[in-house]
Amino acid sequence: MIDLPQLLDQTAIQDAQWLKTVGSTNTYLLNFDCESIHLPLLVGTESQNQGRGRGSHQWWSGTGSLPFSILLAPAHWEIPPTRWPILSLVTGLAVCRALKMLSHVGTFQVKWPNDVYANGRKICGILIEAHPVHTDQLVIGIGLNVNNSLAEAPTELQHKAIALCDLLGTPLNTTEVLITLVNSLDEQLRELGPDSRRWHQEFRQNCYVSGKMITVRNVSGEVTGTCMGIDEDGALKLLTEQGVERILAGEILIA
């Protein structure tokens, strides 16, 4: 269980709810009547049974994981809509920073466009969605594997995913993890407002696929090449047989 008074006391979150169970914290906030509430509003849950990922992907939240979403107005950090497309990468960097604070072991990297990897395995997924009515607001959904150890999971899954407790060999205090994540996100957003280039430099140092041969699936099919990092708009740069291709949206299939 999360200590909500501590969360409200130690972060910029203005209102928070912790639900016993919910379909999806993102869906909950997208349908939330937010006329008279103070933002940022955080909603998390013990058990999410219809968690969503990008596209048609589902997000499984095992017991001990940390699924939550924050409804916020990017203008509060002076972030214009033109920079919204990079928010998923910036959130990934915020998660990496937080994980480095929480764990003295492990290598944390962002896998374009919305995953965080620890020691080459997925530890966190991010889903950012625009509010359908209040078009100046976004929902940032974060699913982090914290105390949902994958030690007992099928070997195939163990190779793909990891939890923070597996890295550290001990369970963590989820309130402290959540506070560290939220403060790290606040810090990243504050930096992004005035300076759109700094995050790009940080991304270069934390990019999971840079230099790797990868295949990306996007609307026009699949494209394979060596990842040359990303540009300042957040587009992935791939060196293919035809030259360098810029990919604005898609999914990495092999990395």
Which chain residues interact with ligand BTN by CB under 6 A?
24-26, 51-54, 57, 59, 67-69, 114-115, 125-127, 141-143
One-letter identity of residue 141: G
If residue 43 lies in a helix (H) or strand (E), which one and from where to where? strand 41-48
Nearer to ligand BTN (CB atom), residue 53 or residue 193: 53
Nearer to ligand BTN (CB atom), residue 56 or residue 170: 56
**What are residue 173's phi and psi, to 5 degrees?**
-80, 110
- CB of residue 53 vs ligand BTN: minimum separation in angstroms? 3
One-letter identity of residue 173: N
Q: Beta strand 41-48 with 66-72: parallel, antiparallel or unpaired?
A: antiparallel
- CB of residue 129 vs ligand BTN: minimum separation in angstroms? 9
**Joined tokens for residue 156:** 């195939």
Return the biggest CA–CA distance within the chain.
Answer: 56
C-alpha distances in Å from residue 92, one per residue of 79, 157, 238: 17, 22, 20
Nearer to ligand BTN (CB atom), residue 74 or residue 141: 141
Nearer to ligand BTN (CB atom), residue 54 or residue 228: 54
Which of 31, 28, 32, 12 has the alpha carbon at shortest distance from 20? 28
Nearer to ligand BTN (CB atom), residue 132 or residue 169: 132
- CB of residue 178 vs ligand BTN: minimum separation in angstroms? 12
- CB of residue 248 vs ligand BTN: minimum separation in angstroms? 17
Cα(110)–Cα(117) distance, rounded to whole angstroms? 6
- CB of residue 251 vs ligand BTN: minimum separation in angstroms? 9
- CB of residue 158 vs ligand BTN: minimum separation in angstroms? 17
- CB of residue 231 vs ligand BTN: minimum separation in angstroms? 22
Cα(5)–Cα(211) distance, rounded to whole angstroms? 44
Nearer to ligand BTN (CB atom), residue 88 or residue 210: 88
Q: What is the DSSP letter of 242?
A: T
Nearer to ligand BTN (CB atom), residue 23 or residue 171: 23
CB 245 within 8 A of CB 252: no
CB atoms within 10 A of CB 47: 14
